[in-house]
């Protein structure tokens, strides 16, 4: 099932979310989906928010542009036109 095409952000969750250790969103926590596995087949770059007061956003993540699909507990991210 295609969830969306466009901007995505992927980050590692804390141990309390096990087995759903990966989150994927559109750049905001409100669009977050949790997965057991993530496969990324498009270019990504890394970003970080190391502000000690940051309690709502991930500390570090990968982001890019792609087509985000869900297959069971797995997220597949591929080319938008692929």
Each residue's pLDDT tens digit, 37-78: 999 999 999 999 888 898 878 889 999 999 999 999 999 999
Tens of pLDDT, residue by residue over 63-74, are 999 999 999 999
Q: What is the CA radius of gyration of the chain?
A: 12
The tens digit of pLDDT for each residue in 4-26 reads 999 999 999 877 788 989 999 99
pTM: 0.87
DSSP per-residue codes, 22-82 = EEEESSSGGG-EEESEEEE-S--EEEE---TT--SS-SEEEEEEEEEEEETTEEEEE-TT-
């Amino acid at each position: 099932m295609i969830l969306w095409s466009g901007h995505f952000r992927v980050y590692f969750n804390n141990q309390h979310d096990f087995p759903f250790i990966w989150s994927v969103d559109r750049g905001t926590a409100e669009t977050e989906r949790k997965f057991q596995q993530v496969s990324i087949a498009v270019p990504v770059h890394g970003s970080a928010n190391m502000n000690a007061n940051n309690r709502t956003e991930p500390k570090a993540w990968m982001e890019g542009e792609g087509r985000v699909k869900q297959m069971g507990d797995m997220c597949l991210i591929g080319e938008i036109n692929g």
